[in-house]
Amino acid sequence: MNALRPATALCNARVLTPDGFVEGLAVLMQNGLIVDLVAVEALPADAVRRDLQGAALVPGFIDAQVNGGGGVLFNNATTVDAIRTIAEAHRRFGTTGLLPTLISDDAEVMARAVEATRAAIEAKVPGVLGIHLEGPYIAPARKGTHNATKFRVPDDGEVAMATSLDNGVTLLTLAPEQVPADTIRAMVDRGAIVVAGHTAATYEQIRAGIDAGVSGFTHLYNAMSPLLGREPGAVGAALEDEGSWCGVIVDGVHVHPASLRVALAAKPRGKVFLVTDAMPMVGSDDPAFDLYGETITAVDGVVRNAAGSLAGSALDMAGAVRNSVRLLGLPLDEAARMASTYPADFLGLGATHGRIAPGWRADLVALDADLQVVGTWIGGE
């Protein structure tokens, strides 16, 4: 083994391996990677041991939709320091990888957000995997809390700007009925992951979007045309299409648990993953923030704007995992995979993130019996 850093061994935990939870294993980490899973008695003599006291050790959570945290909204502070604050706020809740998310805004703000994300990744800000641009290429009829004055159809120059991040993942949420198919194809050709959201599309329009390269759905059920008997809408297309991915907000507010159980039953295993859609109050004592010049406040944990529309959430990923167990009846191993393995696969990072196995990133979370976070490691630190 590389002797530049001593190996660290996480011991006395139930370890979520690709085959399920296993007791009696130690996870050996060195130089940012998991180097082995071994019996405790087989550990190297010089390994630094940490006793996790029976905790569940699961892959670090990956959140593809983080608008803010630690009192900061990304739209209001498109800087490396803001991204660092957001990532630090979510880390305490087990999030070891995230996409800072910019909701619909002007092109200049988008360009600053992309550049700040590039700089944050270059500076090795822990946990930053890329950027999520949620809008502004979305539908006024399903705008939610987005500002419709920002909505537009991108020209070639804006497509180039929106897909210019060259050192991380770019996720773009758009309404397929608002954006020409050739533009969607150009985004995908430039390396972006394109998903449907804030869309009033018909089933047929969604299918056309999938044909053009749309590969998933942002916060399934929310801000999209519903499934009806004679008009399947975006929700029907999402549930029917085996290849597409669906992010879900499991907070007991955004979607009824029964509807989420329907999605899990309809989709192939691994295609539904957790997101938070978190706003600045996560990791902050301040329940209020400003968006588009309007003060928005969380009341009893529910975030709405003055018009009554849901305006993101006060959810963290550990809470989403707990809710998946308690509201949806999922076993912990599957809830943890929905927070780690499946989003890693969705983002094209499954060969390096989202699993506890030799060669994978040492991004890990320890959970106590109440599924509260008692330890988080990013790159073994």
Q: In this structure, what token pair is assigned to residue 31?
A: 């130089």
Type of residue numbered 188: V
Structural domain includes residue 2: no
Task: Give kind and range of the element (H or E) at residue 212.
Answer: helix 203-212
3-state class (DSSP) for residue 225: coil
Are 133 and 278 found together in one domain?
A: yes
Q: Which of 36, 63, 241, 277 is catalytic?
A: 277
The C-alpha atoms of residue 216 and residue 200 are separated, in whole angstroms, by 15
Residue 293, domain member (yes or no): yes
Q: Which residue has the tokens 């907000």?
A: 249
Q: What is the CATH number of the domain that holds 87?
A: 3.20.20.140
Domains of the chain: total: 2
**Within 13 Å, how many C-alpha atoms sit on residue 226's CB side?**
5
DSSP 239-268: HH-TT-EEEE--SSSSS-HHHHHHHHHHSP
Same domain, 211 and 304: yes
- Structural domain contains residue 22: yes
Active site residue 51: no
Strands 302-304 and 20-22 come out as unpaired
- φ/ψ of 373, rounded to 5, equals -75, 125
pLDDT tens series, the chain, 381 aa: 445 678 999 999 999 999 999 999 999 999 999 999 999 999 999 999 999 999 999 999 999 999 999 999 999 999 999 999 999 999 999 999 999 999 999 999 999 999 999 999 999 999 999 999 999 999 999 999 999 999 999 999 999 999 999 999 999 999 999 999 999 999 999 999 999 999 999 999 999 999 999 999 999 999 999 999 999 999 999 999 999 999 999 999 999 999 999 999 999 999 999 999 999 999 999 999 999 999 999 998 899 988 888 999 999 999 999 999 999 999 999 999 999 999 999 999 999 999 999 999 999 999 999 999 999 999 999
Are 171 and 205 within one domain?
A: yes
The reply to whether 352 falls in a domain is: no
For the chain, the maximum distance between any two Cα atoms, rounded to a whole number of angstroms, is: 67
Distance in angstroms (rounded) separating the CA atoms of residues 214 and 216: 6
113/242 same-domain check? yes
The CATH number given to whatever domain includes residue 16 is: 2.30.40.10
Q: Is the peptide bond before 18 cis (omega within 30 degrees of 0)?
A: no
Residues 6+ apart with CB under 8 A from 108: none
C-alpha dist (Å) from residue 264 to 267, 270, 274: 5, 9, 12
Residues 30 and 141 in one domain: no
Residue 3 within a domain: no
- Residues 81 and 125: their CA atoms lie apart, in Å, by 9
- For residue 364, what are the domain limits? 8-58+357-377
Identify whether residues 108 and 201 lie together within a single domain.
Answer: yes
One domain, residues 70 and 180: yes
